[in-house]
Amino acid sequence: MRAPSGSPRRSRRLGTADFEWSTDDDAPDGEIHAAVVLADGTSVWPMRRVMQRYSNGPEDGIYEYGLVVTQ
């Protein structure tokens, strides 16, 4: 799944990982579907992961997800 092509991007750096936030500011729930696009073009959706963690519990851990994404 890829981030919306016409969405605004905001470049950031987290440790050694370069990334851009990609959002659809016209969508009513755009903040939930905000994507992080990594330097290699991979897209991840951290807000969705947080919502899964809340719904499913520790098996959808956030720390592990962030660790894998940034390596």
pLDDT in tens, the chain (71 residues): 444 555 555 555 555 567 888 888 888 888 888 888 888 888 888 888 888 888 998 888 888 877 777 77
What confidence score (pLDDT) does residue 15 get? 54
d(CA 20, CA 22): 6
The pLDDT assigned to 31 comes to 80
Which stretches of 8-61 are DSSP H helices?
46-56
Residue with structure tokens 């440790």? 15
Contacts of 68 (CB under 8 A, 6+ apart): none
Rounded (5°) CA angle 52-57-61: 70
